[in-house]
Amino acid sequence: MSIKSVEDLLIRGGKDQAFRAKYNSAPSKEEFVKRAADDGYEFTVDELIKVINEAGDTFESYGNPPKRSIWW
């Protein structure tokens, strides 16, 4: 279920720019997971990394304002 929660968050972020911006500004994976929990998504840092890696994406941010290439 936790992997599905990561996927659901990435899909929502792909559709909702304001939602995505909240996560793009997270300075760490731990903070990203904390913000997700505040929004009702339950998963661990390891589960986040697994989904991102399986998709061939990277968590690293770029640009100003910060962006990530993880959104579906």
pLDDT tens digits, residue range 27-50? 999 999 999 999 999 999 999 999
Report residue 71 as tokens: 């959104």
SS3 6: helix
Report residue 63 as tokens: 């640009």
Domain range summary for the chain, segments of one domain joined by +: 2-68
The answer, yes or no, to whether residue 13 has pLDDT greater than 90, is yes
CA 3 from centre of chain = 12
Band of residue 1 on the pLDDT scale cut at 50, 70, 90: low
> Residue 42: CB partners within 8 Å, gap ≥ 6?
1, 2, 5, 36
